[in-house]
Amino acid sequence: MLRTEGTFYARSQHGGHQVVADNQGFLVAWPSGEMRYGSARQTIIALSNQTPIPLPHHRDPKVTFNRYFRLGRHSKSAPKLDTLALFSQKLTVEAPKVRIKSSPDISVAAPPLGIDLAKRGHEVRKLLYAGYGRRILKYGYDPEDVLQEVYKGLLVRNRGKCPFDQSKSSFGHYVHMVCGCIVSNYHRRYSRPSRNEQFGVLAMNDDDMVVVDVRDSNLLVEPAIQESTLDSVSMLGTLSAMVGERAPLSDVPSDLATLCFNLLVSGYRRGEIAAQTGKSLNTISKVLKMIRTVADEWRKNMGI
């Protein structure tokens, strides 16, 4: 870009700051102190945006140095001559001497990535409660517990591959997206007991067995059956013998059926029984199906 050495002044709408152009660049006298720029383009961008350190998103007016400072053919001022001098001598106007100078642009540090929770933690709290407060209360969770999970998720993302970058998204949109992921994962984790466990006890209601709350059941008005009245060891022995007898009818070895029955009574699951016996899951599933069939028949015969 062409420029003239000397002292100039920025336009009035841009503050009228003094600009000194020399062989080292451009020196602008800002109210906060002097700042030197390596190119005329950086100088004009800083003056147009009225900031000593222009950032990448600041607007570039795309005007030349002479056009901005109204030099040469862009000058609108009339020559300072009296009327008689205009007729007595030939008026000549010389174009200012210009030269091209290339210098590296000043470097601007990029803003840090991530979210500083010490400064903006209260904003995260407001965004979480505004966007997901009703859902959290509907699920029955403590909002403060969910908030701590959101803080934890933001800290992990600050050190991960997707920290907050203000050049890609706004603060509110990023936090809302993270809160949605955290709330969904939190609900998926703590809703498993309600899907896999039964809350309440069985009770009769109009000749039907239903699950009711303990306080609504008749456990307190009906006497409990003492364990001494039932010979549980004898019942398990009888059921084990029936399983051993019925095993050959289902093409299952009697010793394997008896072993699986004892492991099942001890609380082992299908995968654990397969590991204990060294059999495949399909074989163990067949044996357990036979055991359940025998147990159902035994229960009906016993009237249980």
Do 234 and 178 share a structural domain? Answer: no
Containing structural domain, residue 248 = 230-302
Do 292 and 255 share a structural domain? Answer: yes
* Amino acid, single-letter form, for residue 199: F
Handedness of CA 153, 145, 170, 112 (dihedral sign): negative
Query: Any idea what the Cα angle at residue 187 is, between residues 181 and 193, rounded to 5°?
Result: 155
Lowest-confidence region among 45-49, 104-108, 237-241, 298-302: 104-108
Do 291 and 248 share a structural domain? Answer: yes
CA–CA gap between residue 245 and residue 73 (Å, rounded): 113
Q: Which of 135, 160, 190 is the last residue of a domain?
A: 190
Percent of the chain with pLDDT over 70: 73
Helix axes 254-265, 281-302, angle to 10 degrees: 70
Q: Is residue 216 assigned to a domain?
A: no
More confident residue, 229 or 239: 239
- Show the DSSP H helices in 73-220 as ranges: 83-88, 117-139, 143-158, 171-190, 192-196
Do 145 and 81 share a structural domain? Answer: no
Do 85 and 127 share a structural domain? Answer: no
Cβ proximity of 243 and 257 under 8 Å: yes
Q: Is residue 212 assigned to a domain?
A: no
pLDDT tens, 106-128?
666 667 788 999 999 999 999 99
What confidence category does residue 57 fall into, taking pLDDT thresholds of 50, 70 and 90? confident
CA–CA gap between residue 139 and residue 1 (Å, rounded): 65
